[in-house]
A and B are shown apart, each in its own frame.
Chain A
Amino acid sequence: MGLFKYFIKRLLLAVPTIIGVSIIVFLLIHIIPGDPVQVMLGNKATEAARTALTERLGLNQPLYTQYWNWFTHSLQGDFGISVTSYEPVMSEVMSRFTATIELAFISIIIAIVLGIIFGVTAARYRNQPADHILIGFSLLGVSIPVFWLGIMLIFLFAAVLQWLPVSGRLTMGLSIPHITGLYLVDSLLTGNMRAFADSLQHLILPAISLATIPLAIIVRVTRSSMLDVLHEDYIRTARAKGVPRRRVIFKHALKNAMIPVLTVIGLQLGTLLGGAILTETVFAWPGVGRLLVTAISNRDYPTVQGIVFLISVLFVAINIIVDCCYAYLDPRIRFEE
C-alpha cells in the first residue's frame, strides 16, 4: 500500500470516529441535571429570555433534529452563540487559538529536543550517575501536577527572583500587529525586537510547565528504546568495523530507536492539549484552554461544546499525521490488517 493510499484509509476511518465524537459532544448539554436553559441563565432570567434561548438552542425540537442541526452547523464552523458574550463561539475560539498553538508548539519542541538528548544520554551512561539523575527527574516529572509546577515556577522566578513576568502574553502598553497571531513570529516580521523579547519572556515559564510531562515521558521511552537497539547485531557490527561510538549512537542507533518515540510523541500531544487547559489557567494565558475553563464556570455550554469538539477533531487529525509519519518510517505498518 502506498503512503497516499494509507493516508486516505486513515482519513476514512476517522469519519465514523468524528461522528461519534460529535454525538458525545452534542449529548453533553443533555446530561446536565435539570433544565439546561435554567442552569445557563440562572434563576433571575425572564420568561422571554428563557424562551429565546430554548428557541436558539433548538431544545424544543426532537432530539434527532437537534443533533442533525447541531452537527451540520458545526461542520460549517457554526457552534452557535456564546451564552455570556453573545459572540459567535467560532470567532471567540479563533481569536484565542493562535495563543494556544504558540504555547503548545514551543512546549512540544522543548520536550522533543531535550527529551531525545536526555534519553540518549541516559542510555549511553546506563546505570551511571547521569542515568540515575535523568531517570529520577523524569519520574518526578510525570508525578508533578502541571498546575502546581506552574505556580511554583511563578513563585520562584516571578515573585522571589523577579526574572520573568508572572502571567499573560505581553506586557501592557506593548502591542504587536496581527499578522499570523503568533506573537513571536509577528514581532519578528515587524522587526519589533522589544516586543519579541517581551513575548519570549512571557512564554518561558508556561512552556516549561507544559513541556514537563511530555519531556519526562520522551526521556524514558527514548532511553529504553535506545537500550533495545544498542543490543542489536548491526550495532555490534558497526562498532567492530571501527565506527566511532558517537557516530554509532547518533547515526545507526537513534534512527532505529525513533519509532516508539514517535508513537509516544503522538500520544503526548493529547496530554499536551489537556495540559494546556491547566497551564493557561495558571498563567492567565489567553488561549482556548482558558476560554474553556471560563466557559465552564459561566455555564456557557455552546462554547464548551464548540471547544471540546474542535480540540478533539484537532487531536484526531494530529493522530492521523503521526500515523502517517511512522508508516513512512516503518513501511511494514502500511501493510498490516
Chain B
Amino acid sequence: MTSEWKQIIIEFRKNKLAVVGFYIAVGLLLLSVLAPFLAPHDPLEPNLTAKLIPGFWAGNWNNFLGTDNLGRDLFSRILYGGTISLRVGYIVILITAVFGTILGVVPAYYGKAVDMFLMRIVDVFLAFPPLLLALAIAAALGTGLEKAMLAISLTYIPGMARIVRSSVLTVKTLPYVEASQSMGASSTWIIVRHILPNILAPAVVYLTLLLADAILYTAALGFLGVGIDPSTPEWGAMLSSGRDYLLMGQWWVTVFPGIMIVLAVLSFNLFGDGLRESLDSKLRVQ
C-alpha cells in the first residue's frame, strides 16, 4: 500500500461517523453474503395459511419480522434482498468504473476531436434528469435484474467520465508525466502507470457515494415495478407490495425493508463522505 493511502486511512479513522458507516456497510455485506445460511425460511416459498402474521412484537419468534401478504418470512426476504440490492449496486459500480474511466481517459488524453465528440455525447446523457433516463431505458429493455443494472449504469457512466476526464486533465500537465513522455514512454504505459494511479483516490470516493445512490435507484425501480420483477425479494419491490396493507395496520411489510434501504444508503454515504474529507485534508496538508 502506498503512503498516500495510508495517510488517507489515518485521516479516515479520526472521523467517527465515517467509521461507523464503514462498519455498518461491512455488516450489511456480511449479512447479504451469509443470507443462505442465516435465513430461517425460504424467501420465495409462499404460505397461504400464514399471511401477514406480526413478528416478535407479538411474540412470534419463528417469523421474527413477521410475514408478508403471501405468507413469506419477511426476515429471510430482507436478508436475500440485501444480496440483490448490494449485488446490483456493486455490478453497477463496476460497469460504471470501467466504462466511465475509459470514456474519461481517452478523450482527455487524446484531446481535440475525440474529446469534442465524446464529451458532446456525455452532455446529451447528462441532459436527462437521472431517474428519468434509468426509468425510460429500463422500461424499454423490459424486466430483468441485468437490464435494470444496465439502465442504471448508463445513467452513471457520463458523470463518471466527466470526473475522470477532469482529473486526467490535471494530472496530464504534471512534470513527471512530461518527463515520462520525453523519455519515449508510450501513451498506454503513461496512462496505466502514471495517470490511473493518480486519479484513483477521487474516483474511489465518487464511486462509493455512487454506490449509495445506486442502491436507492435500484429500490426506486423495484418500487415502481419497472425492470425488476415484483416477486423478487428486492427491498423496494417488497415495500411496494406491503403498501396496500399499511393502512390496515400491517405496517411491518413496508417499514422493515425501508429501514434496510436507509441503513444501506446511509452507511455508504457516511463512508464515502468520510473518504472524501480525509482525501481533502490530505490534499490540504501537501
Pair B129/A274 contact, Cβ less than 8 Å: yes
Query: Is A278 within 8 A of B246, CB to CB?
Result: no
A278 to B123, CA, bound (A): 25
**Are B243 and A16 interface neighbours, CB within 8 A?**
no
Shortest CB–CB separation between residue A209 and chain B, in angstroms? Answer: 13
Task: State the interface size on chain B (CB cutoff 8 A).
Answer: 43
Stretch at the interface among B41-49, B96-104, B188-196, B216-224: B216-224
Residue B111 is within 8 A (CB to CB) of chain A in the complex: no
Do residues A145 and B121 form an inter-chain contact, with CB atoms below 8 A? no
Structural contact, A277 and B127, CB atoms closer than 8 A: no
Scan residues 43-86 of chain A and give those whose CB is less than 8 A from a CB of chain B.
none
Q: How far is the CA of A293 from the CA of B136 in the complex (A)?
A: 10
B74 in the interface (beta carbon within 8 A): no
Q: With A143-B265, A315-B127 as given contacts, are A16 and B140 in contact (CB-CB < 8 Å)?
A: no
Asked if A155 is an interface residue, CB under 8 A from chain B, the answer is yes
The distance in angstroms between the C-alpha atoms of A140 and B273, with both chains bound, is 13
Residue total for A at the interface (Cβ-Cβ under 8 A): 49
How would you classify the secondary structure of chain B's contact residues: helix, strand, loop or mixed? helix
| Given known A-B contacts A301-B140, A304-B136, A312 and B129 have beta carbons under 8 A apart | yes
Asked whether A151 and B239 contact (CB < 8 A) given A31-B140, A145-B216, the answer is yes
Cβ of B148 under 8 Å from chain A: no
User: Interface stretch among A3-11, A18-26, A176-184, A257-265?
Assistant: A18-26
User: A292 to nearest B CB, angstroms?
Assistant: 7
Q: Per DSSP, are chain A's interface residues mostly helix, strand or loop, or mixed?
A: helix
> In whole angstroms, what is the CA distance A142 to B268 when docked?
11
Give 20 CB contacts A-B under 8 Å. Answer: A18-B127, A20-B120, A21-B128, A29-B140, A140-B266, A142-B265, A147-B220, A147-B239, A148-B258, A148-B261, A151-B246, A155-B246, A155-B247, A270-B130, A273-B132, A274-B132, A277-B135, A277-B224, A304-B140, A312-B128
Besides A20-B123, A151-B258, 17 other CB < 8 A contacts? A17-B120, A20-B120, A20-B121, A28-B136, A28-B140, A32-B141, A39-B142, A145-B223, A146-B220, A147-B223, A148-B219, A152-B254, A274-B135, A275-B131, A277-B135, A281-B224, A308-B136
Q: What residues of chain A have their CB less than 8 Å away from a CB belonging to chain B?
A: 16-18, 20-21, 23-25, 28-29, 31-33, 39, 139-140, 142-148, 151-152, 154-155, 159, 166, 270-271, 273-275, 277-278, 281, 292-293, 296-297, 301, 304, 308, 311-312, 315-316, 319
| Residues of chain B having any CB pair with chain A under 8 Å | 120-121, 123-125, 127-133, 135-137, 139-142, 212, 216, 219-220, 223-226, 236, 239-240, 243, 246-247, 251, 254-255, 258, 261-262, 265-266, 269-270
